[in-house]
Structure 1
Amino acid sequence: MSLTSAPAVRARAVLPGFRLTLGTTVLYLSIIVLIPIIALVLTGAGIGPARLWAIITAPRTLASLRITITAAAVATIINAAYGLLMAWVLVRYRFPGRRLLDALMDIPFALPTAVAGLSLTALYSANGWFGSVLEPLGLQVVYTLGGIVLAMSFTSIPFVVRAVQPVLEELDPALEQAAASLGSRGFTTFRRVIFPAIMPAWLGGVTTSFARSLGEFGAVVFIAGNLPFKTEIASLLAYIRLEEYDYEGAAAIALVLMVLALVLLFVSNMVQLRAARHGAVTA
């Protein structure tokens, strides 16, 4: 019997069937993600528009949201530049200790955020290793907005590094060689060839970093000092409302943070999709 007339052999699936696999993943997603989100939305809806608006527009709530968004934005700007630079160094250079530095990038993922907050507070307090040098210069970090930015940057920097790093590793060197053959050098090659290729991944990492900073709690609560209208973040105010048995207030603040994160992720996905399409067209 010829090879062309041989019956096709059906490949054996490695994982269980589609229905079982899809059902398991949807069930897990519903229990872990969807049901808590729906419960929060229903709780917020049960408060009533007037009460919800009164909670959100209260001076203390507005101040905490302003502090949270401002600190998260500054931390994200820092991470956007530093994370891209760190990913570049880890991918493009070989030096002693590179593997150790690469492993250190995952410490914020593995370290409990409360431990991170305590460590940063100890380092940057007046008698800490760094604080004892900075405070005589008039640079106070602990119990200031700068401390909040520092804590948010620490916990969210891996999102940018780990998003950009694999894309840089898989980038075809022929693109840079072609640019060099056409007379492009240095920063021009990076701006016109490399960055457009990694921009969708970079935008995804930056957006995730911002969303992570918006909801940060453990690392910030120790270094911020939690002064109302000065260093009190929104997630901490929600926790305070829970301790006061003000469940409506806590739910309203949590709902605002969730909506901000969802809107941010939606915009990020749209920007990434447009950037990917633009890259495909130009390619």
Structure 2
Amino acid sequence: MKAGVKGRSVLPGFGISMGFTVVYLSLIVIIPLAGIFIKTAGLSWGDFWDTVTNARVVAAYKVSFFTSFAAAAVNAVFGLLVAWVLVRYNFPGKRFIDGLVDLPFALPTAVAGISLTTIYSQHGWVGSLLEPLGIKVAYTPIGITIALMFIGLPFVVRTVQPVMQELDKEIEEASVMLGARRLTTFTKVIFPELLPPLITGFSLAFARGIGEYGSVVFISGNMPMKTEIAPLLIMSKLEQYDYKGATAIALVMLVISFALLLITNYLQWRSSRRMIKA
């Protein structure tokens, strides 16, 4: 065999499996997304611009993206803490808490929304305690952020936890033996290893929050210009048979979400390269 010529794979079936992969991704992902572009193309540029720059639509964009980003940022911090506790410590009820992390995956989003609204409303368990302090949670952006924190936490924990379990403790011990303090060991040895999966978990939680509907629609109050989210506005357009308007709003969300995911993937790639060079 000549140098530079790659031999055939030991495992057969690449052509068939690749074909199924392309067909499956096309049917489930590419074609539906292409349909958004095709449907929106039926609008003139003026109609499209008027639709996506309407004051109510812009306000819904701001609520959706701001609360999703805030919830993902909070989950990045506390998700890392939860993963740290589950990996590094043994305590009674550990398996129960570990299973509890996945509850938002299994729980219907509508049930989560109703439960959070009941707890954080003015007469709820938590809301009644916050009301005398002048803090209103339900039917405010704060309530939306809490709902998105609830559904986004597992994404951070489950992406960071496996990497944390594979960390070589001998490197940490060597750092301590060389005189490094605990904070220095964490920031210089441990955290660089956790940064790529942490960015991945953040981006997944952020992407899920942007499109979340069921758990948010109850606690948000759906007040236009204040707590109305973009997915709800899309549903309203569909109920009015304004399909082109709905796809126009969805197209803007798709483009912005894709751009943000590209940025987070780039940051993850940069952090991985730095870790390899180090």
> Would you say 1:230 and 2:226 are equivalent positions?
yes
> Would you say 1:106 and 2:102 are equivalent positions?
yes
The 5 Å alignment of 1:132-281 reads 132-281=128-277
Which residue number corresponds to residue 29 of structure 1?
25
Change (3 A) 1:217 1:182: same
Distance (whole Å) between structure 2 residues aligned to residue 201 and residue 243 of structure 1 = 39
5+ residue gaps, structure 1: 1-9
5+ residue gaps, structure 2: 1-7
Distance (whole Å) between structure 2 residues aligned to residue 228 and residue 159 of structure 1 = 30
| TM-aligned CA deviation for residue 11 of structure 1 | 9.8
Larger mean Cα displacement after TM superposition, 69-78 or 224-233: 69-78
Distance (whole Å) between structure 2 residues aligned to residue 253 and residue 108 of structure 1 = 27
SS of alignment partner, residue 46 of structure 1: coil
Distance (whole Å) between structure 1 residues aligned to residue 10 and residue 79 of structure 2 = 42
| TM-aligned CA deviation for residue 103 of structure 1 | 0.5
SS of alignment partner, residue 188 of structure 1: helix
1:73-107 deviation line (CA, Å, top 9, x unaligned) = 21112111111111111111110111111111111
Distance (whole Å) between structure 2 residues aligned to residue 97 and residue 261 of structure 1 = 38
| TM-aligned CA deviation for residue 12 of structure 1 | 7.5
Cα RMSD over matched residues?
A: 1.5
Identity %: 50
- TM-score between the two structures when normalised by the length of structure 1: 0.92
Which residue number corresponds to residue 115 of structure 1?
111
SS of alignment partner, residue 142 of structure 1: coil
Distance (whole Å) between structure 1 residues aligned to residue 19 and residue 9 of structure 2 = 22
Aligned partner of 1:17 among 9, 13, 17: 13
| TM-aligned CA deviation for residue 123 of structure 1 | 1.2
Q: CA contact under 8 A between 2:176 and 2:182: conserved in structure 1? A: no
Distance (whole Å) between structure 2 residues aligned to residue 11 and residue 38 of structure 1 = 34
- TM-score between the two structures when normalised by the length of structure 2: 0.94
Which residue number corresponds to residue 84 of structure 2?
88
Which residue number corresponds to residue 79 of structure 1?
75
| TM-aligned CA deviation for residue 18 of structure 1 | 1.1
Distance (whole Å) between structure 2 residues aligned to residue 153 and residue 121 of structure 1 = 14
Distance (whole Å) between structure 2 residues aligned to residue 245 and residue 265 of structure 1 = 31
The amino acid that maps onto 1:82 is F
The amino acid that maps onto 1:75 is A
State the aligned residue count.
Answer: 271
Which residue number corresponds to residue 64 of structure 2?
68
| TM-aligned CA deviation for residue 136 of structure 1 | 2.6
